[in-house]
Amino acid sequence: MKQYDAKKIFNIAIAGHSGSGKTSVAEAMLYVAKASDRLGKISDGNTVLDYDQEEIRRQTSIVTAVAPLEWKNYKINLIDTPGLFDFEGGVREGMRAADTAMIVVSGKNGVNVGTEKAVKAADKAGLSKVFFVNGLCDESARFYRVFETLKAEFGPSVCPVVVPYIVDGQANCYINLLEYKAYLYEDGKMTQTTMPDMGDRLEGLRTAISEAVAETSDEMFEKYFSGEEFTPEEIIVGVSQGVKSGAIIPVFCGDAQNTFGIDQLLNGLTWLAPTAADKGEEIATDQNGEPVELAVNENGATAALVFKTVADPFVGKLSYFKVISGKLSPDTPVVNMRTGEQERINKVMIICGKKQEEVPYIGAGDIGAVAKLQNTKTGDTLCSPARRVTLEGIEYPEPCYSMAIYPKTKGEEDKVAQAVMKIMEEDPTYRFENNTETKQMIVSGLGEQHLDVLVSKIKSKYGVEVRLEVPKIAYRETIRKKVTAQGRHKKQSGGHGQFGDVWIEFEPSDCEDLEFAERVVGGAVPKGYFPAVEKGLRECIKKGVLAGYPVVGLKATLYDGSYHPVDSSEMSFKMAAAIAYKNGLPNASPTLLEPYGELKAVVPDSNMGDVMGEINKRRGRILGMTPAEDGMQQIDAEVPMAEMHDFATYIRQATQGRGSFTFEFVRYEDAPANVAQKVIESAKVEKE
């Protein structure tokens, strides 16, 4: 593939609801542009973009993939992003590398939550937007109904560009409203045909275009309202400027399976979408934290952003990057701004699905990949040592669904940990921690499917079988009343005996673990043994008397005892302290404490009642509500951590994926009697 200037490069992220046909549209574009020699089908597992074994098996995209094509002396980099909400991290990566978001909408199912989320993500990333209504050869497709929904949902900026002329449920004829020409698709060929009679509908669509163009500038607005017609040139220029500025979202349509309308989509993108050069300067930060404008210029100092990582145990590590300024080649010295270290570029490649093609360099505005950058992660900036700047990274969604992970074969814990760490290089939306308290390895992700894919990858890529379990809750124990207890340890055997005798007062305290004090009078216990008594108690509080959980909020005061001048030792007093603990704590009203977290759930207004009811069911306390953006509401609550395990699944189902939440530990509180009883009983069962 030849080199292209930024003025001739389009970076298009393909997004939308799962099942709308994003990957199929991308395949059709590659096939029509002759970038692939066959039309890949998801059901056959032979697509260019869904090449990962997990994707082939599941027949759905789970990672972002890149493939370039050439069309009429332009280069279009397609960035295919996943539609399933569990893989939203991939959407964020794709949007960060793109200049335009093409949102695919099913002609049958219409606007879904995934459509809304893709538009929001594109707006957040500051991208131009294009709609493509797919699947019009299906007789149950309803283009005009979908189009009206798009207008109702996203406003007058939605502008028809290509529309179908439907006869007997068949959409074989497509009308390009910018050119005002009709095209017929038959036997795999497209031919221009006479404009069909669409009655008032055609006028309505042309009015919709004129209205959208009128919104692009004051001059156009005045012309439209004075009743003047726009010329065809004014319409194309107006729509193009509107798309670039974000004031217009053009609507194309067709069918990816039959490739109908795909050539018009490619033409339309090259006419209307912003090129990498049109996108203008990108704001970076210099070493003093000051903003710096980087022009998309091949002759500038190099600055590139790594937007995706593939860590394959066989192929090695591959870093996908977008060059913002300058060019990246094997002889370009670059510094990783996160580590401050120089990175050695061996060779640069263009990526087409899983195929790699070595090229001399990747220029400004273009996308490429480099292998074996050991210390580079997704979101890192690679730049010239002469101009050190940091580009804005990628903001990932926070993981909200956690499970404990165990190897099926004992002793393979290290292998599991290493595999998860490798997979986290590819997908930073996973989290991994070793919980020292519950002695569990915990993995977190964006949902059940996300963790299911993790389990599959650990097996297929790293050869370790694992299972997931609901994580244990780190309870605590404390006491509610003051008691005194004696601990007397006496053992006589050959030679020296062992003797230690203490009286300890146990009472509740505000401390985190153990507060130790002494008020021994008259040397009943020599000072030298005080540390041994404290040490004995500190070892004991690791396990409470109710269910074996750590004890907190305990004050222990050593106030009396006795010793033997020969048989007493540190060990004897340590043992005596342990006996006093075991004798005293069961009588001090021991209580089980459970951890509570602070929940901030953002949900649509219409789901407020259901979600609040669910929080109450989970023993939560609603603290208040505040309006959030886009007509959403934020519910603030405190909920026991034990009740939150599957809340991620609940909120996704209840809000169809619109809702989100964060949940963080705040404090420990007394567990209700029925909860405490269950925890104590299960601890007894585990002991047995």
* Least confident segment among 191-200, 593-602, 603-612: 191-200
Residues 536 and 563 in one domain: yes
DSSP category for residue 671: P
Mean pLDDT of 441-465: 93
Q: What is the DSSP letter of 297?
A: -
238 and 114 within one domain: yes
For the sheet with 9-16, list strands across it.
65-71, 74-80, 9-16, 100-106, 128-134, 249-253, 158-160
Q: What is the pLDDT of residue 683?
A: 86
- Percent helix, strand, coil in the chain, to 5, is 30, 35, 35
pLDDT in tens, 366-383: 999 999 898 999 999 999
What's the number of domains the chain is made of? 5
Q: Distance from CA of residue 573 to its chain's centroid?
A: 54
The β-bridge relationship of strands 249-253 and 128-134 is parallel
CATH code: domain of residue 300 = 2.40.30.10
CA angle 145, 149, 150 (to 5 degrees): 115
pLDDT band at 321, cuts 50/70/90?
very high
Q: What is the pLDDT of residue 629?
A: 82
Q: Is the pLDDT of residue 602 over 70?
A: yes
Q: CA separation (Å) from 202 to 7, 119, 168?
A: 34, 27, 18
Give pLDDT, residue 495: 67
- Domain end call among 588, 604, 632: 588
Quick check: is 395 in a domain?
A: no
Q: Does any domain span residue 569?
A: yes
Per-residue 3-state assignment (H helix, E strand, C coil) for 175-201: EECCCCEEEEEECCEEEEECCCCCCHH
Spatial distance between the Cα atoms of 459 and 412, rounded to a whole number of angstroms: 12
Lowest mean pLDDT segment, chosen from 35-44, 118-127, 412-421, 617-626: 35-44
Asked if residue 444 belongs to a domain, the reply is: yes
Query: Does residue 17 carry a pLDDT above 70?
Result: yes
Q: Are residues 326 and 259 in the same domain?
A: no
Per-residue confidence band for 494, with pLDDT thresholds at 50, 70 and 90? low
Question: For the segment 548-566, what is each residue's pLDDT rounded down to a tens digit?
Answer: 999 999 999 999 999 988 8
Would you say residue 312 has pLDDT above 80? no
- At residue 2, the pLDDT reads 87
Range of the domain at 525: 477-588
Closest CA to 26 of 56, 74, 65: 65
CATH number, residue 415: 3.30.70.870
Mean pLDDT, the chain, integer: 91
Q: How many other CB atoms are found less than 10 A from the CB of residue 379?
A: 21
C-alpha distances in angstroms, 9 versus 43, 75, 365, 497, 683? 31, 5, 7, 88, 63
Closest CA to 249 of 77, 163, 132, 144: 132
The phi and psi torsions of 136 (rounded to 5 degrees) equal -80, -10
* Domain assignment of residue 248, yes or no: yes
Q: Quick one: 112 and 223 in the same domain?
A: yes
pLDDT digits (tens, 9 = 90+) for 323-333: 999 999 998 89
Q: Is the pLDDT of residue 496 over 80?
A: no
pLDDT of residue 55: 72
Q: Do both 266 and 129 map to the same domain?
A: yes
pLDDT band at 568 (very low <50, low <70, confident <90, very high): confident
What pLDDT score was predicted for residue 688?
Answer: 63
Report the run of H or E that residue 687 belongs to, with start and end: helix 673-687
Domain membership of residue 277 (yes or no) is no
> Which CATH number goes with the domain that contains 622?
3.30.70.240
Give the sign of the dihedral formed by CA 607, CA 609, CA 610, CA 616. Answer: positive
Please compute the mean of the pLDDT values over residues 266-276 and round it to a whole number.
Answer: 94
Is residue 396 included in any domain, yes or no? no
Q: Does residue 198 fall inside a structural domain?
A: yes
- Quick one: 487 and 453 in the same domain? no
372: left (phi over 0), alpha (psi -120 to 50) or beta: left
Position 491 scores a pLDDT of: 86
Q: Which tens digits make up the pLDDT trace of 249-266?
A: 999 999 999 999 999 999
The predicted pLDDT at position 58 comes to 80
| CATH at residue 79 | 3.40.50.300
Q: Which of 390, 413, 446 is the last residue of a domain?
A: 390
Which one of 156-160, 623-627, 682-686 scores highest in mean pLDDT? 623-627
Q: Which residues pair with 13 in a beta bridge?
A: 79, 101
Average pLDDT for residues 651-673, to the nearest whole number?
93
Confidence label for 43 from pLDDT (cuts 50, 70 and 90): confident
Mean pLDDT in residue range 295-303: 92
Say yes or no to pLDDT of 50 above 80. Answer: no
pLDDT at residue 190, as a whole number:
87
- Which of 40-54, 176-190, 369-383 is most confident? 369-383
User: Within a 13 Å sphere around the CA of 407, how many CA atoms are in the beta-carbon half?
Assistant: 16
Let me know whether 88 and 186 are in one domain. Answer: yes
Q: Using the predicted structure, report yes or no on whether residue 219 has a pLDDT greater than 90.
A: no
Do 173 and 300 have their domain in common? Answer: no
- Please give the DSSP secondary-structure letter assigned to residue 56: H
pLDDT-derived band at 436, boundaries 50, 70, 90: confident
- The CATH number of residue 490's host domain is 3.30.230.10
In this structure, is residue 1 part of a structural domain? no
CA atoms within 13 A on the CB side of 643: 20
What does the alpha-carbon distance between residue 484 and residue 53 come to, in Å, rounded to a whole number?
A: 65
Mark whether 176 and 33 lie in a shared domain.
yes
Domain boundary among 231, 246, 272: 272
84 and 126 share a domain?
yes
Cα separation, 504 vs 541, in Å, equals 14
Burial status of residue 684 (CB atoms within 10 A of its CB: 0-12, 13-18, 19 or more): exposed
Pair 600, 649 in one domain = yes
Same domain, 485 and 608: no
Q: What angle do CA 421, 422, 425 make, to 5 degrees?
A: 90
State which H helix or E strand residue 152 sits in.
helix 143-154
pLDDT confidence of residue 671: 95
